[in-house]
């Protein structure tokens, strides 16, 4: 009987020592997450299934940096995305059939049946970032390939530029053929509606920081 009583406290002490030792031992570090597999189409983001590649973002970010060389590259990417590229992709999903028809008509425009040309003059603020950036890259008096903007496709021809030393002040003289898939009167309300209903997928985690958190929240799927 006395031997059993003697063993009892020893067993309790041994158990406490084992538990204490377990608590002091740090847990093993979590296994690193496997790197994200690149999308088959090279997309880093998708909006409603429409892909956006890194090269397209960087291309427009170059234009933002030309206007504002003091901005970081990350901020230039954010402005390219939020001012032009994310709304453009969200707009596609509003009227997919009209979007496809406008694209096809713009592609065939120079073969005949084009709408009456329009003449516009202005700087990046009046022309808009996307149109300004596409026009400034053109050789003079040469028609562009189809250019997609929010709610429309256009063909552009650069007629002249005033040669201001500050890109923000430079005025471009542009002729354009326009193929809208959203009515001009609907453009502002459609812009907001498109963004509210669109779903953003960030496929490459390296690009998450380039999308402001407010936009990630705004363009997330509705909870089930």
- pLDDT tens for residues 177-206? 999 999 877 777 888 889 999 999 999 999
Q: What is the mean pLDDT of residues 166-175?
A: 95
Same domain, 57 and 75: yes
CA distances from 19 to 13, 28, 111 (A): 10, 17, 82
Q: Which residues contact 157 (CB under 8 A, 6 or more apart)?
A: 138, 141, 142, 143, 144, 174, 175, 176
Same domain, 109 and 212: no
Residue 45 burial (10 A CB sphere; 0-12, 13-18, 19+): buried
Same domain, 212 and 107: no
Same domain, 103 and 140: yes
pLDDT band at 40 (very low <50, low <70, confident <90, very high): low
Residue 145 has pLDDT above 50, yes or no: yes
Same domain, 176 and 196: no
* Inside any domain, residue 32: no
Q: Which of 1-15, 17-31, 46-60, 90-104 is predicted least confidently? A: 1-15
Bridge partner list, 122 = 172
Same domain, 73 and 119: no
Quick one: pLDDT at residue 221?
82
Quick one: pLDDT at residue 14?
37
Same domain, 115 and 173: yes
pTM of the model: 0.79
State the residue range of the domain holding 160: 96-181
Quick one: pLDDT at residue 71?
97
* Inside any domain, residue 12: no
* Inside any domain, residue 100: yes
* Inside any domain, residue 11: no
Same domain, 48 and 156: no
Same domain, 167 and 220: no
* Inside any domain, residue 21: no
| Long-range contact pairs involving 92-98 (C-beta distance under 8 Å, separation at least 24) | 92/47, 92/48, 92/50, 93/47, 93/48, 93/49, 93/50, 93/194, 93/197, 93/198, 94/182, 94/190, 94/193, 94/194, 95/181, 95/182, 98/181, 98/182
Instruction: Measure CA 18 to chain center.
Output: 54
* Inside any domain, residue 54: yes
Same domain, 177 and 104: yes
Residue 19 has pLDDT above 50, yes or no: no
Provide the mean pLDDT of the chain. Answer: 84
* Inside any domain, residue 70: yes
Same domain, 90 and 100: no
State the total domains in the chain. 2
Residue 61 has pLDDT above 70, yes or no: yes
Q: Which of 1-10, 90-99, 107-116, 165-174 is predicted least confidently? A: 1-10
């Amino acid at each position: 009987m006395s031997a059993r009583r003697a063993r009892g406290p020893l067993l309790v002490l041994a158990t406490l020592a084992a538990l204490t030792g377990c608590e002091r031992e740090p847990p093993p570090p979590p296994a690193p997450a496997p790197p994200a597999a690149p999308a088959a189409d090279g997309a880093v983001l998708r909006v409603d299934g429409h892909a956006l590649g890194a090269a397209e973002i960087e291309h427009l970010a170059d234009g933002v940096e030309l206007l504002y060389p003091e901005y970081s590259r990350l901020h230039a990417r954010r402005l390219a995305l939020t001012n032009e590229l994310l709304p453009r992709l969200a707009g596609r999903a509003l009227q997919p059939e009209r979007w496809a028809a406008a694209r096809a008509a713009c592609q065939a425009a120079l073969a005949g049946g084009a709408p009456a040309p329009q003449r516009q003059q202005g700087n990046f603020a009046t022309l808009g970032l996307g149109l300004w950036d596409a026009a400034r890259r053109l050789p003079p008096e040469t028609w562009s390939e189809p250019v997609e903007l929010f709610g429309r496709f256009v063909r552009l021809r650069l007629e002249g530029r005033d040669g201001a030393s500050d890109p923000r002040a430079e005025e471009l003289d542009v002729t354009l053929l326009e193929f809208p898939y959203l009515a001009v009167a609907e453009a502002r309300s459609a812009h907001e509606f498109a963004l509210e209903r669109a779903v953003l997928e960030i496929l490459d985690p390296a690009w998450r920081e380039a999308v402001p958190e407010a936009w990630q929240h705004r363009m997330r799927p509705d909870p089930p």
